[in-house]
Amino acid sequence: MKLVTAIIGFLAMVLGCFVFGFAWPDIQKGQLPSTSAISNLFGVKSGAAATPELEFTHAYSKVLAEYIKPVDSTTLKYAGMEGLMSSLGDPHTMFMPPKASEAFNDETKANFGGIGARLGQDPLGARLSDVFDGGPAKENGLKGGDIITAVDGKQVGGMDIDDVVTMIKGKEGTIVKLTWMEPGKHEPITKAIKRARIIAPTVESKYFPDYKVGYISVASFSEPTADQFGTEIDKLEQHPLKGLVIDLRENPGGLLQSACDMLGYFVEDKLVVRMKFRDGKEEIAKSPSGFLHNFNYPILVLINEDSASAAEIFSGCLRDFGKAKLVGEHSYGKSSVQNVFPLVDQSSAKITIAKYYLPLTPYYGRKLDQDGGFISGGLEPDVKVDLDPNATIDPDNPKTDAQLWRAIEMLNPQAATTATTASAGH
Amino acid sequence: MSDMKKSVLTSVRIIAGAAAILLGFQARQRVDLGAIVASNSNVPFSGLVASQSNDVNVPAGDYFYELSQKLKEEYVEPVTDDQKLASGAIRGMIASLDDPDSIFMSKDEFAAYLNARIGKYEGIGADLELVRNGKSGSSDSGSSEADSDMTPEDAMVTVKEIPHLQVMSVVPGGPADKAGVKVGDVVRYVDDHWVVDSGLINKFRIALRKVNNKQMPATELNAMRAEIRSKSEHALLPARAKDKLFLGKSGTVNVVWSRNGKEITTKIERSTCEMPGFSVDGDRILLPMVEGDGGRLANAVKGKSEVTIDLRNSTLGNPQVMRDCLSAVAKPGNYGYFTTKRHDSPTPLEISVGNAHPPKIQLIVDKSTRGPAEVFALALASKGLVRVSDSEMGGDVESQQIVKLPDGSGYTLATSAYQATVSRKALNGAKGTVALQEVRK
């Protein structure tokens, strides 16, 4: 008898422990185990029609059974999952059905050849914002401001820029046929171009002797960026400087470490970014010590809506530490970290798992409405300057770039007069 | 019991307890994430869990549950509103149908929609619907900027059509009516926001192809490009434009409409207003076809030998009321079919009780006769039972289901389309629109 009691007691204890383990995720959240989880454990679907899961299933079955046209059940399921994940209102939390996940993987692996140019959105197709020295685009006569209108004979007008880029990229050594138009010319040019492995330069500098202003553009934050930045600063400082313009427009970000290292030239051992996770855990990043540089001239940073992530951390911190003012348009507002979770059917779920916070700037995450329209987010510039989208920018003439020109005028108030004299001289 | 035995038993208990906790926790994880999260798939508990981890075709309900769990576990902010997730998922599904007749509506939108169905309007006091050329509504709206002489090659480069927003009915004496808005007007601008029009984008893409083929100088394109650029800076999707016009009880809204190729600018004060309800004036009956109108119609025709029924301004009629109305004025029998594009047989529109001695009926219809009202007219006309005024109707004979969700949002789902026994072509109907002549003199 005593043995039976002991056995029953033992089994009860084991069962109790099992239930405890099962309910642990809920206990952590301070709630009762969800009925849905329990019924799933026993393979039973609860009959109550009130659970959101059943409400969803109900709508799903209704559309499949009663919609006027037949609908593919997998497509419908994925459409539902996309809606589920976008209902949080976070543009970076999304469901990627199998095809989209594949493209995303290819992109992140980035073992692709290209034409050696940076492209921007244009109603006509893709506008070349930058052409790299020594790349296939430059060798074939493509210039900044040209607009690619067709790729391999397919019109790209009205297409999303990312799709155009995907079409242009391909295996190193293969051929891509491009059709492009030069501003002011009527006839498009078509050429077959061989793709090559591209290492995009991240830092470039220029000195404007007429205005005594240095200019550094940072295209993205990769491993060598901080070193390259230091080298370019040294180069520029061989000239007399009234000020420096750091151009982060179109800079999509990159490595956080690289942005921190670059901040090390400006501030030493300072907390630059705080990452807050779901469970209250925090991670911080600091600028390194031993790299402090004495910038004895004012600095302006150019930003626009394509400046994102690490570019926003860098420019936002410079402003927070009083090292620079921002000029241009509001930045993108990417201030969060995502993780991609692969799912068994080759789809994946991209979920925002943490948010960044700058030393002083309040949270600036991008917010969109239901239709994807911009509501708010990004760093607001101290001096707002819009760019005429139809103006052709001549990289050798800063006056053709309204944002850069404004920065130069701010750094050297005499620049405007110089300009007038110069144009009067013609 | 020896100490040795005791300690062995205790440790067995501890180990068993710990193992049970672990197994319980694992079982929960399998239950929550087992089916969709691709990880180590050789699980000891695969017999217990509801969804098999190897099963690639995860059922939709499990998918929903597991993805919700994943979000709750990983998302940077606490996710507590399951209802919001469900509504979001349903919104996604309905949107993927890409059908102007199947629309998901937020709480406010859905409430305004349900009110309009009983004649109570807000906003500018007009029923506005998303319309695709050739699908519903009239094609001569003057709204589309797409070339009518589009070649098959042009069709290849055109984008998927974005529906435009068109006035279906105007509440007499309401704000829109006072401002001179007419049925058929198409919204072009709302408070300086361009309402996105795929016609313009298509025109641009076609021109682009011509330039690429050297059939057109590029200069013409630049003007168009500048136009699109400036317009898209303040663009509004048609569904959002509808909210600005259909919702709200106060405030002014500036709207530019397109009517027969001309642009008309109006300034409209939002307020509530009501569509005139069922009324009888001698032999003339106004039938909006809202709740209760079936019984009213039956009473109104009693003892009358001839009546005129006005079906204008009835765009959001109730399908059940339509059947009641049909019973009130028609003999029992078959009045056509509801068909789908799925492989199923049409559902007949049958009247079982009916009116054994129906009066002679004259129907007054126009473009604002849509939905159940239009089906009513077609059903009677197809049997040669009524005389119909000589004008085109709205061309909307789709039957919808209306579904309300617990959070107040809701959606419509197009389920079938009406077809009279006689083919619509025989009724002198053109594609998408139905022009009815007097059927019986």
Q: Mark yes or no for CB contact B36/A344 under 8 Å.
A: yes
Does some domain include residue B398? yes
| B329 and B380 co-located in one domain | yes
Radius of gyration of chain A (CA): 28
Average pLDDT, chain B: 80
For residues B2, B8, B11, B16, the Cα torsion angle rounded to the nearest 10 degrees is: -120
In tens, the pLDDT along A76-95 reads 999 999 999 999 988 889 99
At which of B230, B254, B273 does a domain end? B273
Chain B partners of A69 at a C-beta cutoff of 8 Å?
Answer: 340-342
Q: What is the pLDDT of residue B405?
A: 94
Q: What is the pLDDT of residue B90?
A: 97
| B323 and B352 co-located in one domain | yes
| Mean pLDDT to the nearest integer, B42-67 | 59
Q: Say whether A400 sits in a helix, a strand or coil.
A: helix
Distance to chain B for A423, nearest Cα, Å: 28
| B225 and B286 co-located in one domain | no
Least confident of B51-60, B203-212, B430-439: B430-439
- Nearest chain A residue to B49, by CA: A41
Contact map slice: B 391-410 vs A, CB within 8 A: 398, 401, 403, 405-406
Chain A partners of B73 at a C-beta cutoff of 8 Å?
Answer: 25
- Nearest chain B residue to A277, by CA: B76
| B253 and B157 co-located in one domain | yes
Q: Is the separation of the CB atoms in B367 and B184 below 8 Å?
A: yes
Q: Is A363 on the interface with B (CB under 8 A)?
A: no
Chain A partners of B343 at a C-beta cutoff of 8 Å?
Answer: 70
| Mean pLDDT to the nearest integer, A290-317 | 95
Distance to chain A for B276, nearest Cα, Å: 32
ipTM above 0.90, yes or no: no
Q: Is the model's pLDDT at B22 over the cut of 80?
A: no
Chain A partners of B411 at a C-beta cutoff of 8 Å?
Answer: 59
Note down the domain range covering B258.
Answer: 126-273
| B258 and B140 co-located in one domain | yes
Contact map slice: B 343-382 vs A, CB within 8 A: 343
Does some domain include residue B54? yes
- Among candidates B24, B58, B84 on the partner chain, residue whose Cβ is nearest the Cβ of A21: B24
- Nearest chain B residue to A371, by CA: B237
Among residues of chain B, what percentage have pLDDT more than 90?
A: 48
The CATH superfamily assigned to A203-425 is: 2-enoyl-CoA Hydratase; Chain A, domain 1 (3.90.226.10)
Does some domain include residue B433? no
Q: What is the pLDDT of residue A48?
A: 43
Geometric angle at alpha carbon A379, from A294 and A123, rounded to 5°: 115
For residues A399, A119, A254, A301, the Cα torsion angle rounded to the nearest 10 degrees is: 10
Q: What is the pLDDT of residue A36?
A: 53
Does some domain include residue B432? no
Q: Is the model's pLDDT at A233 over the cut of 70?
A: yes
At which of B240, B273, B306 does a domain end? B273
Q: Which among A40, A82, A282 is the top mutation candidate for probing chain B, defined by the most B β-carbons within 10 Å of its own β-carbon?
A: A40
Instruction: Tell me the C-alpha distance between A179 and A191, whole Å.
Output: 7
| B161 and B234 co-located in one domain | yes
Q: Is the separation of the CB atoms in B32 and B66 below 8 Å?
A: yes
Q: Is the model's pLDDT at A200 over the cut of 60?
A: yes
In tens, the pLDDT along A97-107 reads 887 777 666 55
Q: Mark yes or no for CB contact A123/B225 under 8 Å.
A: yes
| B400 and B286 co-located in one domain | yes
Instruction: Tell me the C-alpha distance between B152 and B173, whole Å.
Output: 46
Chain centroid to CA A236: how far? 29
Q: Is the model's pLDDT at A73 over the cut of 80?
A: yes
Does some domain include residue B115? no
Distance to chain A for B303, nearest Cα, Å: 41
Instruction: Tell me the C-alpha distance between B139 and B136, whole Å.
Output: 8
Does some domain include residue B22? yes
| B263 and B146 co-located in one domain | yes
Q: Is B17 on the interface with A (CB under 8 A)?
A: yes
Q: Mark yes or no for CB contact B24/A45 under 8 Å.
A: no
Q: Mark yes or no for CB contact A83/B91 under 8 Å.
A: yes
| Mean pLDDT to the nearest integer, A405-412 | 95
Distance to chain B for A201, nearest Cα, Å: 30
Collect all residues with Cβ–Cβ distance below 8 Å to A30 and sequence separation of at least 6. Answer: none
Distance to chain A for B392, nearest Cα, Å: 25
Chain A partners of B401 at a C-beta cutoff of 8 Å?
Answer: 62, 66
Q: What is the domain count for chain B?
A: 3
Q: Which among B49, B70, B76, B205 is the top mutation candidate for probing chain A, defined by the most A β-carbons within 10 Å of its own β-carbon?
A: B76
pLDDT bin (cut points 50, 70, 90) of residue A11 is confident
Sorted by where each begins, the domain ranges of chain A are 48-87, 108-197, 203-425
CATH of the domain at B180: 2.30.42.10
Higher-scoring residue by pLDDT: A158, B193: B193
Within 10 A of A237 (CB to CB), how many other CB atoms are there?
17
> Across A86-90, A166-170, B119-123, B191-195, which has the greatest mean pLDDT?
B119-123
Instruction: Tell me the C-alpha distance between A415 and A402, whole Å.
Output: 13
Q: Is A396 on the interface with B (CB under 8 A)?
A: no
Distance to chain B for A20, nearest Cα, Å: 6
Chain A partners of B96 at a C-beta cutoff of 8 Å?
Answer: 75-76, 79
Collect all residues with Cβ–Cβ distance below 8 Å to B355 and sequence separation of at least 6. Answer: B298, B301, B327, B328, B329, B330, B331
Chain A partners of B405 at a C-beta cutoff of 8 Å?
Answer: 55
Q: Mark yes or no for CB contact A371/B239 under 8 Å.
A: yes
| B145 and B221 co-located in one domain | yes
| Mean pLDDT to the nearest integer, B38-54 | 35
Chain A partners of B71 at a C-beta cutoff of 8 Å?
Answer: 84-85, 88, 93, 349, 351
Q: Say whether A107 sits in a helix, a strand or coil.
A: helix
In tens, the pLDDT along B352-389 reads 988 888 899 999 999 999 999 999 999 998 888 888 87
CATH of the domain at B308: 3.90.226.10
| B400 and B367 co-located in one domain | yes
A108-197 and A203-425 in the same fold: no
- Containing B307, the helix (H) or strand (E) segment is strand B306-310
Q: Which among A11, A15, A17 is the top mutation candidate for probing chain B, defined by the most B β-carbons within 10 Å of its own β-carbon?
A: A17
| Mean pLDDT to the nearest integer, A304-333 | 95
Q: What is the pLDDT of residue A116?
A: 86
Counting one residue from A and one from B, how many pairs have CB atoms under 8 Å apart? 296
User: Which two three-digit tokens encode residue B64?
Assistant: 């929903």
pLDDT bin (cut points 50, 70, 90) of residue B158 is low
The structural architecture, per CATH, of the domain A108-197 is: Roll (2.30)
Q: What is the pTM of this model?
A: 0.71
Higher-scoring residue by pLDDT: A405, A167: A405
User: Which two three-digit tokens encode residue B57?
Assistant: 């075709």
